[in-house]
Amino acid sequence: MPPTARPGTGFTLDDFMLFPDDGQRHELIDGEHYVTPSPNTRHQRLVQRLHLALAEHLRAHPQQGEAFVAPFDVVLSFRDVVEPDLLLIAGDQWEILTEQHVKGAPALVVEVLSPGTRKRDEQIKHRLFERAGVREYWLLDPDLDRVRVFRRASDTTLPAVAELSAAEGDVLETPLLSGFSLRIDQLFRR
């Protein structure tokens, strides 16, 4: 039986470790428990294509970091444990990678939007990643074939810096990975 939230504090990492391994995505944000069913086919294809592009780049440039796909827990605090669709540990962050999970803010977090997670990804997780110190946050929108890129600013906010479109022939690049580029139309190809 899953644990019950503590009055006034919600769930913690200790509670999270007791959640059932039921094939669904369990996350804690500010102590609140969120459950997301497994993703659909289009979602999976987008994550696979992006991961493949990142992995190919990182194979040639291993010092730049390592990419991981869900399921893989990211522990941001005692009350914040998320499972992004994809994440990047930069070459200067190896210490946050443990045998079990990531303990700290990855350099890059990627989420694929869906009707059930859109508000959480665009608002709640955006605020969490901003607060935690994520350097870049990418939101892939399979309904519009677009990628929104949020990048850490000098004032520590995580503002939108680009909205890239398959229809416009845009290319996804990041200062986190020198030399990496991916055409948006290739990412969202049907």
What pLDDT is attached to residue 6?
Answer: 57
Q: What share of the chain is helix, strand, coil (3-state, %, to 5)?
A: 25, 30, 40
What pLDDT is attached to residue 155?
Answer: 95
What pLDDT is attached to residue 21?
Answer: 84
Quick check: 3 pLDDT over 70? no
**CA distances from residue 51 to 17, 66, 73 in whole angstroms, order as listed:** 27, 10, 17
Say if 16 falls within a structural domain.
Answer: no
What pLDDT is attached to residue 164?
Answer: 98
What pLDDT is attached to residue 8?
Answer: 58
Taken in order 172, 156, 104, 178, the sign of the CA dihedral is positive
Whole-model pTM? 0.94
Say if 29 falls within a structural domain.
Answer: no
Q: How confident is the model at residue 175 (pLDDT cuts 50, 70, 90)?
A: very high
Taking a C-beta distance cutoff of 8 angstroms, is the pair 136, 152 a contact? yes
Taking a C-beta distance cutoff of 8 angstroms, is the pair 135, 90 a contact? yes
Q: What number is the average pLDDT over the span 156-180?
A: 97
Say if 153 falls within a structural domain.
Answer: yes
What pLDDT is attached to residue 22?
Answer: 84
Our CA angle for 106, 111, 115, nearest 5°, is 155
CATH code of the domain covering residue 54: 3.90.1570.10
Taking a C-beta distance cutoff of 8 angstroms, is the pair 49, 30 a contact? no
Side chain identity at residue 31, one-letter code? G
Q: How many CB atoms lie within 10 A of CB 24?
A: 13
**What is the number of structural domains in the chain?**
1
Say if 88 falls within a structural domain.
Answer: yes
Quick check: 4 pLDDT over 90? no
What pLDDT is attached to residue 142?
Answer: 97
Say if 9 falls within a structural domain.
Answer: no
Q: CA nearest 67: which of 112, 117, 107?
A: 107
Structural domain boundaries enclosing 93: 39-187
Over the stretch 68-121, which tens digit does the pLDDT of each residue have?
999 999 999 999 999 999 999 999 999 999 999 999 999 999 999 999 899 999
Say if 176 falls within a structural domain.
Answer: yes
Over the stretch 5-49, which tens digit does the pLDDT of each residue have?
655 568 999 999 999 888 888 999 999 999 988 899 999 999 999
Our CA angle for 129, 133, 135, nearest 5°, is 85
Q: CA nearest 84: which of 94, 99, 73?
A: 73
Say if 33 falls within a structural domain.
Answer: no
Tokens matching residue 174: 């990041």
Say if 5 falls within a structural domain.
Answer: no
Q: What number is the average pLDDT over the span 160-181?
A: 97
